[in-house]
Every structure is written in structure tokens, then in C-alpha cells.
Chains A and B, each alone.
Chain A
Amino acid sequence: MAVCVAVIAKENYPLYIRSTLTENELKFHYMVHTSLDVVDEKISAMGKALVDQRELYLGLLYPTEDYKVYGYVTNSKVKFVMVVDSSNTALRDNEIRSMFRKLHNSYTDVMCNPFYNPGDRIQSRAFDNMVTSMMIQVC
């Protein structure tokens, strides 16, 4: 489903980015980068918003003609950005939410690993597997 999944740290540098399409990967990277502005805008708009699951999920950040970009932010300001193909009309909001939830859970597991230093690139195989499962799902 997801064409590209990215985990961006609080300081807005990527901790993990992966795309299904090997070509045009740069394009996805650029899209993710531009989406960060939208994410920040949404975060600031929330202001004193209560942080709950709803708030964590930012929803559709912005659509392009081919793709839609969804965002999700954790309480520690770690952002998950997901790019999905617009042709996947069957994708509902709930599914996106569940995907983000899985991402969040996997990210938490990575964090629990004492050998992982926050701020490092995520090299966990379990995380990779989970992301792969998500990306393959769509196809």
C-alpha cells in the first residue's frame, strides 16, 4: 500500500526511509521532505491540543496527482510519513491509521532495544520486515 515510508526524527532528519520503487526514489525523498513543512504546520496548529491517538494521526498532508502523503507524529515529535499511490482508492482512513499504529509499535520496539541509540538510523530487521509487509500489502 505504502509506496514510501519514512521516519523522521524530531530534528527533521530521517531516521529511516524506504521506498518500493527503486527508481524515482529521490522523488519520494523530496516529497517526504516537503511534507515536513506541512507536518510542522499541523503540529503548530494543534497548539495546546490534547495529545491522543487522534492528534497523533495527522491525516492527509497533501495530495499530488499521483500520490497522497499521510502524516503521523508521536509524542516525542518523531514523525512518520507515508506516501501512498493515489490509484489505491480502496485505501480508507482506518487502514492508514492502522498502518501508522503498526509503525508506531515497531518503532517503540526499536526504541526498547538498549543497543539502539535514539537518533541513529533504524537498522532493525524487525522494523524492516514490518515496513516491507506494509509496502507489499498494497501491491
Chain B
Amino acid sequence: IMELCGATRLGYFGRSQFYIALKLVAVAQSGFPLRVESINTVKDLPLPRFVASKNEQESRHAASYSSDSENQGSYSGVIPPPPGRGQVKKGSVTHDTVQPRTSADAQEPASPVVSPQQSPPTSPHTWRKHSRHPSGGNSERPLAGSGPFWSPFGEAQSGSSAGDAVWSGHSPPPPQENWVSFADTPPTSTLLTMHPASVQDQTTVRTVASATTAIEIRRQSSSYDDPWKITDEQRQYYVNQFKTIQPDLNGFIPGSAAKEFFTKSKLPILELSHIWELSDFDKDGALTLDEFCAAFHLVVARKNGYDLPEKLPESLMPKLIDLEDSADVGDQPGEVGYSGSPAEAPPSKSPSMPSLNQTWPELNQSSEDTAIVHPVPIRMTPSKIHMQEMELKRTGSDHTNPTSPLLVKPSDLSEENKINSSVKFASGNTVADGYSSSDSFTSDPEQIGSNVTRQRSHSGTSPDTAAPPPPPPRPQPSHSRSSSLDMNRTFAVTTGQQQTGVVAHPPAVPPRPQPSQAPGPAVHRPVDADGLMTHTSTSPQQIPEQPNFADFSQFEVFAASNVNEEQDDEAEKHPEVLPVEKASDPASSLRVAKTDSKTEEKTAATAPANVSKGTTPLAPPPKPVRRRLKSEDELRPEVDEHTQKTGVLAAVLASQPSIPRSVGKDKKAIQASIRRNKETNTVLARLNSELQQQLKDVLEERISLEVQLEQLRPFSHL
């Protein structure tokens, strides 16, 4: 048979050869002698039967036959039936064979539908031959005819769809190749070329042969149900074309570039416009890779004669899985920075909180490490957390929505801070103020207000400190109370005389009504808030010391803050506050510490103040000290809040007035304050770096969320 059909002579199975071979097989199976003439003479040949898997093969065969016949028929409709076949060595025989085959097989197009779904694993060779035939045949047939006939085939008969699948798979690539010609890079990977060039045929044959099994099988399976499926070669080609316009595969092709590109396809503008409408899924005026492939595929199909669908076929829809994933992911980060609804802020806060909380322990440890001398860091963490949270939220909100997110976050933060000794909060406020000032002032008033509220809450809840504290570190304020004594003592011990002095100082200070102290810090807060702007860097450092300072301030106030007077202008402010509040003392002391850290000169001033504070506490009897300590503990949350909020400046200012009083102990106080300041500096520096990192993370999350938002936009539009 092979010799008869001429395959052996040609060395391959062209379409005509294949047809002839099949016909001869049928002849042989029917018992007729195998002769070339038998093909013509035997008209009503039953379909050849292939042993392997009858159903499959028959269906395939039938499909191939039907497709061939139909193709031929279609071709005959468009083009004179296989004149190309005439080119086959067998020549006229094919023509005749085609005709009877057509007639014979035309009756069977519906029948072999049996198992189109079964890809022909067992007999890939038949497909190979089949593909070769098309390749041989396509070269002979003009492009135009193939298109319109494929779609009915593909859709009408599943049986024929097998063959059609192959054909349809082949036909789009050929037109694509034609079109590609104007695009300059006909993909050799595409199987069949409609170019009459025999070279291409051979190449396609080769490529077909190599890729046939996989591709055809795939095509068959995929094209059975969906004539719009993009094959891999096609997709690869589309991607390459996409790259020529837009090297970034994740980027967009702007509308104008796409317009130019698709105009080259010589389709009417109306059709291109419709293709665009179908393929621009998110209606953004630009094409992503998926959209571009869909558009390209539609153009190819249209060039082949397929009618454009009214709706985008599912197989051409851009993949939205990423959006789903990103949406899921995006919900979690819902960062502050995300300008979405404020509703996102609360959820975002929760994740941010844990992250912050996580960082806090680190900070705690770090601060503890650095401030081994200062147990204060432990207390600091809650406020630090608050501060960081405040900062992050503010920064995020500042970057995105200066208004609503800030409103949401500062309020939340304020609540949190209220709970904690707001040292950190104050510092956070200061830092946040620093941020917010650059963006919007809404946060400032809010912060201040929150500070004020915090003050009130603190004053009211100072004993409670741990009251509304969502974050873990909150309990520390309570600890501060109970441990305040310890802390104070430890501070006193660690930091030296200053601390002890500070501890002892409060008792020495004439009993100040806490309420007065509370308002005092409140007064300081706004003032400090302003002043803190400049001291943001140091405020965090001083936060850890604030508890100490809380105690110290009192001491300083009483003891002698004279020393630092000269050096600290802020200290001058303090004298006003001192008489009113013990809280101011810590603030002043902190401020003193701040200023000291800034200038060693000031340290001298603060040192004496601290020393004075430190010394004085020692002096007073233990009982009042304890009482003071307790009161101070109570005040500390307030004080810390105030001091933290307003920044150490207030503390410094407060302490400064006291400093002059303790002139005698200046040296020691200065030294102690220097030490303390250095420690707070390191702590604050570390805190700052960590906050910066958190800020970066939040910004990144924000960016990712914004990207997700953009991806989700089509849904809103749809």
C-alpha cells in the first residue's frame, strides 16, 4: 500500500499519500486487490478498519476521513478540489480518490464521533501522517479557504473534531504565519504554513512530525470543546510578539502601540475595535500579556475566517488566579499605608500589631541589653510599641490617606497609649509628629488630642495603666507600678546616684496632688509635642529613662536643677512646671538627658540635676520614698506618657529648673545623666532603625496592596 500510494517513493506521507493509503487499506480490507486503479473503481469502500483500538482508530480514521473529506469538500467549495492534490505524484488519482472518499465519508461525519476525547496515544503515527498530509496539503491550498470551514467542523462533530482539531490547530498557525510575515518573524514552531514554499512545508512537516504527537494530542483534547484554545506554539509566538512591543512580560501594552500593531493585520478597524473590546478585559486601555494573547488569537482567527464571538471565550480570558491569590494575601497585610477604607486599617493594625509586638520583644531585649543598667526598657516596650505603631500607622496613613487612616490609627494608638505609660507613645507621637508634619497636620492635632485624651485616661487610669491595653506590653505599666520601685531602685543602682537620687527625690518633693500632676503633664504634652518635633531622635532614648526620670524629675525638681539651667533653655520652662507636677520632673530630667545627649555641656547640667535627684532620694526617708515611688508609679504612666509624648524635652525643661536647685550634686548628676543619656541614645537609635525597617515593610505592603487593588479593578468595573 505504501508503495502504491507513493509514500515510499516520496519518503513521507503527504496528505494525498495518506488518503491514498487509507483508501488502499480500505480496499485491502474489503478484499479487493490492491491496485492503484482499485481506488477509483471501488466506490463504496467501507472505511478501513484499523486493528489497534477499533473505536479510536475508526473514529480517528473516520474523523480524519471526514475532516479530510470535509476539508476537501470545503476546499472544493473554495478552491477547485485538490488541484494541489494533482501536484501529488499520484496526480489525478488523488482527485478521484478524494471525491469518492468525500462522498463515502460524507455520510459518516457524524458517525465517527465515537471517541474524539480519546487522544490517540496508541496510534500517534496516524496522526503524524495526518499532520503530514495537512502540511503537504496546506502548502497547496490557499489560506483563505481553510478558515471558515474549520469552525463548523470543529463545532459540529466531535468525531470530526479530532481531525478538525488538528486542522484547526494547524490552520490558525498558518494564517498566523501569513500574518506573521508582516510581523517579520514567522514562528517556525507553528506547524503548518500556508506558504506555498515547499521549504516551509518541509520545515513544518519536520516540526509537525516532531511536535505533532504532543501538540496534536493536546490540540485534539483541547480543541474538541473549544475552538478558541490557544496552542502552545501560538502562545509562544504571541509572547514573543508581546516582547517586541513590551519587554516586560508583566507590563502593559498601551492602547496606541497595540493599535499600531494590530492595524498591521489589515483587518478592518471595526473588527479590530471589536476585538479590542473583547480582549481588553479590565477596560483599562492597555493590554496585559493574557489580553494581548487573546487579542492576537482573535485576530488570527478572524483572518482565518472565524467570526468574532460576541463574548470573550473562556479559554481566552486572562488568568485571574493571581488576583485571587493576591486578594487573599492582600487582605491580610491591609496595611496602614493602604489607602483603602479605614475598615482596612483596623484589620491591618492587627497584623501590624503582632509584627510590632514581635519587634518589641526584640527591642526590649536590645534595649535591655544596651540598657542593662536600665530596667526601664521593659517598661518602655509598651510605649515603644505604641510609638512604633503610631509611627507606622502615621507614616502609612500619611503616605496614603492623611485624613481617614490617621484618624483611625491615632485614635487607636491613643487608646493603646493611654494604657501604657506613654513614654513610648510620647516618643511615638514625636516621631509621628515628625512624619505627620511633613504630610498633614491632621495627625498632629489628633496626636495631641490623643495625648490629651491619654493624659486624661492616664490620669484617670494611671493606677490602671494596664486598663485598655490591647497590646501585650501593656501590662508593663502595671508592672511599672509594682515594679516601679524596683525599677527605680534598679535604676538608681544601675544608673548610679542619679537614679537613686531620683527615686529618693520624689519623697523629698512636697506632695503634689496627682491631679495637678496629671494636668501638668497634659500641659506639658502639647508643649512637649511641639518641642518634641526637634527631639524625636532622642525622645525614644529618653523614654526608657522616663520612668527613671519620672522619679528623677521629682528629685531634680526638688534637688537641684540649677546646674542645667544655664545649659538648657528648656529647663527654664521646667521651673514653671516643677512646682506643679512631679511628672514634669521626669520630663525635665528626660529633657535634661536629651539635651545632655546632645551636648555634653548640657549633660553636666543634667548630671547635676540627676545627681541631685539621685541624691535627694537617698536622703529622704524610705517611707516617703516608697510612697512617692508609688505615687510616682501612678504618675509615671502619666508622666511617662507626657514625657514620652512631649519628649524628653519637657522632662529636661522640667528637670532643668530643678537642676539649679541641686547644685551641689551637679557633678555626679551630670555624670549619671550622661551615662543615662548615652544609654537612651543607643536604645533610641536602635528603636529608630527598627522603626525604619518596619516603615519600609509597611510601605512595601502598601505597594503590593495597591497593585492588587489595580488588578481587582476589572471586577469593580464589571
**Which of B39-47, B268-276, B350-358, B657-665 interfaces with chain A?**
B268-276
| A112 with B280, Cβ < 8 A, contacts A105-B717, A124-B274, A125-B274 known | yes
A127 closest partner in B (C-beta): B277
> Which stretch from A5-13, A48-56, A69-77, A113-121 is at the chain B interface?
A113-121
Residues of A within 8 A of B310 (CB): 125, 129
Task: From B262, B269, B274, B283, give the contact of A112 (CB < 8 A).
Answer: B283
Give A122's nearest chain B residue, CB to CB. B273
Question: Separation in Å of the B259 CB from the closest CB of chain A?
Answer: 4
Residue A93 interfacial (CB < 8 Å) = no
Q: Is A40 an interface residue (CB 8 A)?
A: no
- Dominant secondary structure at the A interface: helix
Which one of A109, A110, A112, A115 has the highest number of Cβ atoms from chain B below 10 Å of its Cβ? A115
Q: How far is the CB of A12 from chain B (nearest CB, A)?
A: 24
Q: How many residues of B contact A (CB 8 A)?
A: 18
Contact at A114–B255, with CB atoms within 8 Å?
yes
A124 CB contacts on chain B under 8 angstroms = 273-274, 277
Q: List the 7 closest A-B pairs by CB distance, nearest first.
A: A114-B255, A115-B273, A114-B259, A112-B285, A115-B272, A113-B276, A109-B283
**12 sampled A-B residue pairs with Cβ under 8 A:** A109-B277, A112-B283, A112-B284, A113-B277, A114-B258, A115-B259, A123-B270, A124-B273, A124-B274, A124-B277, A125-B310, A126-B277
The verdict on A114 contacting B283 (CB below 8 Å), with A123-B273, A125-B274, A125-B277 known, is: no
**Candidate in B258, B270, B277, B285 with the most chain A CB atoms within 10 angstroms:** B277
Whether, in the assembled complex, B250 has its beta carbon less than 8 Å from a beta carbon of chain A, the answer is no
CB atoms of A113 and B717 under 8 A apart: no
Alpha-carbon separation in the docked complex, A60 to B259 (Å) = 39
How distant is B580 from chain A, measured CB to nearest CB, in Å? 52
Which chain A residues lie closer than 8 Å to B107 at the CB level? Answer: none
Asked whether, in the complex, the Cβ of B269 is within 8 Å of the Cβ of A115, the reply is yes
Instruction: State whether B255 touches A113 (Cβ < 8 A).
Output: yes
How many Å from the CB of B95 to the closest CB on chain A? 43
In Å, the complex CA distance between A116 and B256 comes to: 11
Among residues of A, the one whose C-beta sits closest to the C-beta of B257 is A114
Assess the B274–A114 pair: CB atoms within 8 A: no
**Which residues of B have CB within 8 Å of A123?**
270, 273
Q: A3-29 vs B: 1/0 string, CB under 8 Å? A: 000000000000000000000000000
- Nearest Cβ on chain A to B103's Cβ, whole angstroms: 40
- A-B pair count, CB < 8 Å, reads 39
In the complex, A124 Cα to B262 Cα: how many Å? Answer: 17
List residues of chain B with CB within 8 A of the CB of A110.
277
Residue of A nearest to B717 (CB): A105
B residues 228-278 in Cβ contact with A at 8 Å: 255-256, 258-259, 262, 269-270, 272-274, 276-277
Residues of B within 8 A of A (CB): 255-256, 258-259, 262, 269-270, 272-274, 276-277, 280, 283-285, 310, 717
Interface string of A85-126 (1 = CB under 8 A from B): 000000000000000000001001110111110000001111
Whether the pair A116, B273 counts as a contact (CB closer than 8 A) is yes
The residues of A with any CB-CB pair to B shorter than 8 Å are 105, 108-110, 112-116, 123-126, 129
Dominant SS among interface residues on chain B = helix
Shortest beta-carbon distance from B133 to chain A in Å: 38
Q: Which of B256, B270, B717 contacts A114 (CB 8 A)?
A: B256
Can you name the residue of chain B whose Cβ is closest to the Cβ of A124? Answer: B277
Q: Identify the closest chain B residue to A125 (Cβ).
A: B274
* CB-defined contacts of B283 to chain A, threshold 8 Å: 108-109, 112
> A105, A114, A129: which contacts B276 (Cβ < 8 A)?
A114
Residues of chain A within 8 A (CB-CB) of B277 are: 109-110, 113, 124-126
A115 to B283, CA, bound (A): 13
Given A105-B717, A125-B310, verify A112-B255 contact (CB < 8 Å): yes
Per the bound structure, the CA–CA distance linking A125 and B533 in Å amounts to 60
Closest B residue, CB atoms, query A115: B273
Interchain nearest-CB distance for A121 vs B (Å): 10
> Roughly how many angstroms separate A87 CA and B283 CA in the complex, as a whole number?
37
Tell me, in angstroms, the Cα distance from A108 to B283 when the chains sit together.
9
User: Nearest-CB distance from A118 to chain B (Å)?
Assistant: 13
Q: Which of A108, A113, A114 has the most CB of B within 10 A?
A: A114
| Chain A residue contacts of B717, Cβ below 8 A | 105
Q: Add 11 more A-B contacts to A112-B285, A124-B277 (CB < 8 A).
A: A105-B717, A110-B277, A112-B284, A113-B255, A114-B259, A115-B259, A115-B269, A115-B272, A115-B276, A124-B274, A126-B277
- Closest residue to A116 on the B side, CB-wise? B273
The residue of chain A having its C-beta at the shortest distance from the C-beta of B260 within the complex is: A114
Residue of B with least CB distance to A117:
B269
Closest to B285 in A: A112
Complex Cα distance, B272 from A2, in Å, reads 29
Most buried by B among A113, A116, A123: A113
Tell me how far the C-beta of A7 lies from the nearest C-beta in chain B, rounded to whole angstroms. Answer: 16
Q: Which residue of A lies closest to B273 (CB)?
A: A115
A108: chain B residues at CB < 8 Å are 283
Q: Which residues does chain B contribute within 8 Å of A116, judged by CB atoms?
A: 273
Complex: how many Å from CA A112 to CA B255? Answer: 8
The reply to whether A113 and B280 contact each other, CB–CB distance below 8 Å, is yes
Chain B residue contacts of A105, Cβ below 8 A:
717
**Which residue of A has the minimal Cβ distance to B277?**
A126
* Cα of A112 to Cα of B274 in the assembled complex, Å: 12
Q: How many Å lie between the Cα of A112 and that of B256 in the bound state?
A: 10
Give min CB distance, B618 to chain A, whole Å: 71
A9 to B310, CA, bound (A): 27
Residue of A nearest to B262 (CB): A115
Shortest distance in angstroms between A56's beta carbon and chain B's nearest beta carbon?
Answer: 18
* Distance in Å: Cβ of B491 to nearest Cβ of chain A: 61
CA distance A122 to B426 in the complex (A): 61
Task: Give Cα A126 to B270, complex, Å.
Answer: 12
| Whole-angstrom distance between the Cβ of A42 and the nearest chain B Cβ | 29
B255: A residues at CB distance < 8 A: 112-114
Residues of A within 8 A of B270 (CB): 123
* Least CB distance, B525 to chain A, in whole angstroms: 41
Name the residue of chain A whose CB is nearest to the CB of B268: A115
Residues on the A chain within 8 Å of B256, using CB: 114
Which residue of B is nearest A112, CB measured?
B285
Q: How far is the CA of A80 from the CA of B284 in the complex (A)?
A: 23
Q: Complex formed: what's the CA distance from A132 to B276 in Å?
A: 20
Chain A neighbourhood of B274, CB < 8 A? 124-125
Least distance between B592 CB and chain A CB atoms (Å): 55
Considering only CB atoms, which chain B residue lies closest to A110 in the complex? B277
Bound state CA distance, A127 and B28, in angstroms? Answer: 60
A113/B284 in contact, CB under 8 A = no
B276 cross-chain contacts in A, Cβ below 8 A? 113-115
Q: Nearest Cβ distance between residue A105 and chain B, in whole angstroms?
A: 7
Residue of A nearest to B310 (CB): A125
